[in-house]
Amino acid sequence: MFRLVYNLSITLKKMMNMSTEKFHVGKAVIRLVQGDITEQDIDAIVNAANSSLMGGGGVDGAIHRKGGPKILEECKRIRATEWPNGLPTGKAVITSGGNLKARYVIHTVGPIWRGGNHGEPELLAEAYRNSLKLATSKGLKTVAFPSISTGAYSYPVEKASRIAIATVKEFLETEDKLDMVVFVLFTRHDFEVYRNAAKEIL
């Protein structure tokens, strides 16, 4: 009995927290959800990595923890071959999803916020664009993004959300290979900010 009540309360809580919103761009869908990106059952999730590709805190740490050592092994190989000095800001690379439900992880590096006059908007747009390009070049159909740069890298989420939504919209308008792009927002506040940006831009 206790277990039943306990499970019911968890389900209810989940239902209450389950915010989701859907927008259409051409044939594709942009979906906003509040949740944990490591739980997404999708072709690829995007990691807000740092240029070392050796893991870190925030969403990066969560992805490596849940995805297991295979992802780090592949990142090390990329560092040893393609990017010996680290992955530059705005670029993207792909590894398998390890133990995650997602088949692939696309690692990109967003800009660190330094006041907004150091190319941050263009670099953030590049991170989204290059991740999407990589996904389509691999024939993937569905991609999930976290809110790149708005955690440890301090990019103001109101500004970042507009760039994220506008860049994805532009990409989907110029090419029709993707079916769905999901923004997975970790907090209720971020979800609301992204929803407002999406309502304005989409």
Residues in the site for ligand ADP, rule: CB under 6 A? 36-38, 48, 58-60, 62, 110, 146-153, 184, 186-187, 190
Burial class (CB in 10 A: 0-12, 13-18, 19+), 150: buried
**Dihedrals phi, psi of 107, to nearest 5 degrees:** -100, 125
Out of 60, 176, 179, 190, the active site residue is 60
Evaluate whether 149 touches 113 at the Cβ level (below 8 Å): yes
Q: What is the DSSP letter of 110?
A: P
Structure tokens at 53: 């590709």
Identify residue 14 by its one-letter amino acid code: K
Q: Minimal distance in Å, beta carbon 188 to ligand ADP?
A: 11
Tokens of 141: 């159909």
Active site residue 179: no
Residue number, 137 or 187, with CB nearest to ligand ADP = 187
- At closest approach, how far in Å is the CB of 175 from ligand ADP? 25
Of the pair 26, 116, the CB lying nearest ligand ADP is at 116
Whose Cβ is closer to ligand ADP: residue 89's or residue 95's?
89
Shortest spacing between CB 83 and ligand ADP, in angstroms = 18
Active site residues: 60
